[in-house]
Amino acid sequence: MNDPPDLRNDDDSAAWRELTASDSDFFDRDTSTILSDFGWSLDHSSDHPRNLSDLAPTTTKTHPSSTSSCSSSVLVAVTEVSTPTTNPSATSSSSDDPADNSAAKTPPETPLKEKKKAQKRIRQPRFAFMTKSDVDNLEDGYRWRKYGQKAVKNSPFPRSYYRCTNSRCTVKKRVERSSEDPSIVITTYEGQHCHQTIGFPRGGILTAHDPHSFTSHHHLPPPLPNPYYYQELLHQLHRDNNTPSPRLLQSTTEDAPTISNPSEEGLLGDIVPQTMRNP
DNA sequence: CGTGTTTGACCAGCGC
DNA sequence: GCGCTGGTCAAACACG
């Protein structure tokens, strides 16, 4: 069984299901549209690798044996959640603005409570990635500041909460390890970046043309894939497989977190190495 | 000194 | 209504 607790428990307004062929239309849209939906820049002069082969040269699809702790095995879950109007990031009015902060930190309780009330239940579109890696915080081109950590029910591993360090950006991500397979890191992104990546600060800019950029560095996992990555992945798998329904995963309801059913074959079977499916 | 992490407390939502 | 849980805050701390 592979039942990431995160993907079930977290999505109070959305849960996860496998994408059907029709769902894949989401990914068949124009790339820039998809990216803009999630705030990922498509600046062709940016430092982000953009080709699947560049991003994940060791995609387990073709390298099922690459089951090292830093392999780029990835499962994807996508969730789109309605975003009420008061979302600071959605309106790009950034709650991190000094003015906003002063309001939020105002001692009087009523404004604070009202503000919190206005902001509650705000959910951004989410991506969840399952990445086989021995490091928790995967490089994705953005800088993150940890703002919390919680023990997760039914999991021995804590969940970490990160926020984009860009003061105008309210994108968050959660990182936790799968209780089923500790080598699997479940990363959930929420929100849209309102800025571009900063490259890969700690390792320098990864060169997209070096097919060994990810595989030869056991301590450097692949940059965390962005939606573009998965669209490419999807398309490539579509071409290579006769898979009728790509198993990208999308959240729809709270209690249907079928982020993965690793025992199933098909696309997922290609994405997830056998050893990962059967620990 | 600036930036990021740790960690306990707090709050809201949800199920019973 | 109550308790549980997830998510966030914020002060203290660590580090370069």
CA/C1' separation A147–C4 (Å): 22
- The verdict on residue A15 lying in a domain is no
CA neighbor of A37 nearest in space, from A221, A227, A264:
A227
Q: In what order do the strands lie in the sheet with A126-132?
A: A17-18, A249-251, A74-79, A126-132, A184-190, A172-177, A158-164, A144-151
Do residues A55 and A225 lie in contact, with contact meaning Cβ atoms separated by under 8 Å? Answer: yes
State how far the Cα of A177 lies from the Cα of A154, in Å rounded to an integer. Answer: 12
pLDDT of residue A161: 92
- The verdict on residue A149 lying in a domain is yes
CA neighbor of A223 nearest in space, from A277, A187, A180:
A187
If one compares A210 and A158, the residue with the highest pLDDT of the two is A158
Strand C close residues, chain A 94-133, CB < 7 angstroms: 104-105
Q: How do residues A136-162 score in pLDDT, each as one tens digit?
A: 666 677 788 899 999 888 888 889 999
- The verdict on residue A144 lying in a domain is yes
Q: How do residues A63-89 score in pLDDT, each as one tens digit?
A: 333 333 344 455 666 554 443 333 333
- The verdict on residue A267 lying in a domain is no
Q: Give the range of the structural domain holding residue A139, as residue numbers without chain letter.
A: 129-190
Is the distance between the Cβ of A168 and the closest atom of strand B smaller than 7 Å?
no
- The verdict on residue A163 lying in a domain is yes
State the CATH number of the domain containing residue A140: 2.20.25.80
The percent of residues in chain A predicted with pLDDT above 90, rounded, is 3
- In chain A, the largest separation of any two C-alpha atoms, in whole Å, equals 61
Is the distance between the Cβ of A10 and the closest atom of strand C smaller than 7 Å?
yes
For chain A, the domain total comes to 1
If one compares A149 and A198, the residue with the highest pLDDT of the two is A149
Is the distance between the Cβ of A159 and the closest atom of strand C smaller than 7 Å?
yes
Is the distance between the Cβ of A202 and the closest atom of strand C smaller than 7 Å?
no
- The verdict on residue A184 lying in a domain is yes
- The verdict on residue A274 lying in a domain is no
- The verdict on residue A136 lying in a domain is yes
